[in-house]
Structure 1
Amino acid sequence: MKIFRLILLILHVGILFLLLGSLLNAYIPPKIFPWFNLLSLGFPVLIVLYIVLTVFWVLSWKKRAFVFMFIGLAFINPVKRWVNFSSEKKESSSDIKIVSFNIKAGLMGKDEVQNYLKAQDADVILLQEDGGMEYPMLKGYNRTKSNGILTILTKHNLSNEKLFFSEDESMELQSALQADIEIKGKTYRFVDIYLYPFQFEKKMIKLDGNSEANEQKVKGVVKKLIPTFKIHQDQVKKIRESLENSPYPVIVAGDFNSVPNSYEYYHLSEDLEDAFMSTGKGSATSFHDYKFPIRIDYVFSSKSLEAVSYDVDRSVSISDHYPVITKFSLKDK
């Protein structure tokens, strides 16, 4: 029994160090050490194992349980970025409604996408992977110029459109679309984000009984992940410049192709509020094509704005992403 507990203790300490490594994404960029960003992908599994082992030590009446419980407090916010239980906030007529949605070019039904967006009656709609769609059903909405990937639609006055590309000028990768929108006499800067995708297929990550084939699949996945992390670092740098130089409060939303606690999350949310952390409930999982909890869609805002609701609408399956619906109070905090 002592040997068994020693093995569990070593495993528990190892998991702890891996979890702490994921927190270093706030400080160490992928171009210096990309493996910390890799750890963020496994955070849900690691934290569940950590909690299970901590409970085991509690039930075993071991003093080490208190040490692991105390250190575990460092992971409260990282966990809340995946699963959260916020208190109710009152909505009012002064709130603005934002919908962010990766529509996968309408491949699962263009009319269904348009009918859904029309029914939402949102003030601002931020779309990713729109495939250059037209939106004849959304009458009364102003729209940014089509670029085939990102689109912002709004009922309000729209100006100062700008596309952002990767920092690496040899790679013409669209990463974000900016537009200033005047709502009820005040201007807000909206940034619609779509970071470079990993371009996985299900068969690439589905493991089977062939250990050699599985090893090759894992290597293939890592070969795609590491370069993509580095591309994201360049894209994040460009977007941060726009956010930091904005003369207006900002609302940032979209498909980040990055999970919570990643380098991308930490640096794009810097000095901003995560609407899910403020008012979300339950799971924030927004990408449902794989049978694994994945949150890659976000809504961040300046601290002068207050999120009053955040919903991942799982009632529709018209894309491989669920729509994210957020309401903000226009009253200053």
Structure 2
Amino acid sequence: MLAGLIFMNPVQRWVNFSSGKKDAADLKMVSFNVKAGTLGASGIEKYLNNANADIIMLQESGNKISVNGMEEAKGNGILKIFSKHKIIDSRELIKSDYDYNNAYASQTDIEIKGKIYRFVNFYLEPFKFEKGMIRLDGVKEEDEQKLKNIVKRLIPVFKKHQDQVNSIKEAIRNSPYPVILAGDLNSVPNSYEYYHLSDGLDDAFVKAGKGSATSFHDYKFPIRIDYIFTSKTIHPVTYQVDRSINLSDHYPVVGTFSLNN
């Protein structure tokens, strides 16, 4: 029993079989790293236009993707937010300079039913692993060198992630409004990035998801790097990784929420 209690929460961030009390949902949102539409921009647009979402948050968007009938927040083209509700304000939290970092984050304040909410869209620095770099072949010398190369790539990116997470956390701390964060963390659920960014917030998958939260499918092994976090006053009702959509190396993450509190 003790072992079960110790490991239940970490496992639940990957695979969740719990089912909590369900409120009535009054907000639907989609978060999706679309890989700049390189695997099919028209298919992605069709999916988003048919999603009937109130809020759509895209990472690695590029300029090809648009959504009919929704207002688009001002942004940089890498991160996009589309809303059926009134956008009050939008600004960048992290601006990539290509020399120091390749990460992005933005905040957008949106009025929904007379109340303002802050939506934070993020895409942290990628590790840029190619499949051949992490595939061990059973040859001792070659595998040892691959592991050394992995560590060399991990350490500087982890250091950048610390600064990037701090920039996002500052926006959360200073927000006068309830917050919803969504995006591509480029880190797994038992990472420094997850623990620090989710501090004081709810992981929507842990609260309302079922089954596997695996969202990145370019590798053969399961990996979760896409998330939705919310303030405690926002109640996740459902959380789904839509594996029927194979238009990126990520699957879309779809959540519904109750804003009545």
| TM-score exceeds 0.5 | yes
Q: Deviations over 1:156-177 (max 9, x none)?
A: 1112211122799972544311
Q: Deviations over 1:178-237 (max 9, x none)?
A: 100111111100000100000111111111132211111111111111111110000000
Match of 1:82 in 2: 14
Match of 1:206 in 2: 135
Tell me the CA shift for residue 148 of structure 1: 2.8
* Residue 154, structure 1, aligned to residue 154, structure 2: no
> Does the 8 Å CA contact 2:29/2:55 hold for their aligned counterparts?
yes
Tell me the CA shift for residue 133 of structure 1: 2.5
> Does the 8 Å CA contact 1:127/1:151 hold for their aligned counterparts?
yes
* Residue 219, structure 1, aligned to residue 151, structure 2: no
Separation in 2 of the partners of 1:283 and 1:116? Answer: 22
Superposed CA RMSD: 1.9
Q: How many residues align?
A: 261
Q: Pick the structure with more strand per residue.
A: 2
* Residue 259, structure 1, aligned to residue 188, structure 2: yes
SS for the counterpart of 2:28 is strand
SS for the counterpart of 2:50 is helix
Q: Pick the structure with more helix per residue.
A: 1
SS for the counterpart of 2:19 is coil
SS for the counterpart of 1:120 is coil
**In the alignment, which of 45, 55, 60 is matched to residue 124 of structure 1?**
55
Give structure 2 stretches of 5+ with no counterpart: none
TM-score by length of 2: 0.95
Match of 2:118 in 1: 189
Matches within 5 A, 1:19-30: none
After superposition, the Cα gap between the structure-2 partners of 1:266 and 1:88, relative to the gap in structure 1 and judged at 3 Å, is closer
Separation in 2 of the partners of 1:169 and 1:208? Answer: 33
Separation in 2 of the partners of 1:90 and 1:168? Answer: 43
Separation in 1 of the partners of 2:20 and 2:202? Answer: 17
TM-score by length of 1: 0.75
Which structure's CA Rg is the greater one? 1
The one-letter code sitting in structure 2 at the alignment partner of 1:84 is N
Give structure 1 stretches of 5+ with no counterpart: 1-68
% identical equivalent positions: 59
After superposition, the Cα gap between the structure-2 partners of 1:262 and 1:127, relative to the gap in structure 1 and judged at 3 Å, is same
> Does the 8 Å CA contact 1:132/1:147 hold for their aligned counterparts?
no
The one-letter code sitting in structure 1 at the alignment partner of 2:235 is E
Matches within 5 A, 1:1-333: 70-87=2-19, 89-90=21-22, 92=24, 95-135=26-66, 138-165=67-94, 171=100, 173-332=102-261
> Does the 8 Å CA contact 2:20/2:207 hold for their aligned counterparts?
no
Separation in 2 of the partners of 1:130 and 1:167? Answer: 15
Separation in 2 of the partners of 1:70 and 1:145? Answer: 50
Separation in 2 of the partners of 1:225 and 1:171? Answer: 15
Q: Deviations over 1:221-268 (max 9, x none)?
A: 111111111100000001000001100000000000010111110111
The one-letter code sitting in structure 2 at the alignment partner of 1:81 is R
SS for the counterpart of 2:245 is coil
Separation in 1 of the partners of 2:84 and 2:252? Answer: 19
The one-letter code sitting in structure 2 at the alignment partner of 1:82 is W
Separation in 2 of the partners of 1:331 and 1:287? Answer: 32
Separation in 2 of the partners of 1:253 and 1:289? Answer: 20
Tell me the CA shift for residue 73 of structure 1: 2.5
SS for the counterpart of 1:171 is coil
After superposition, the Cα gap between the structure-2 partners of 1:255 and 1:169, relative to the gap in structure 1 and judged at 3 Å, is closer
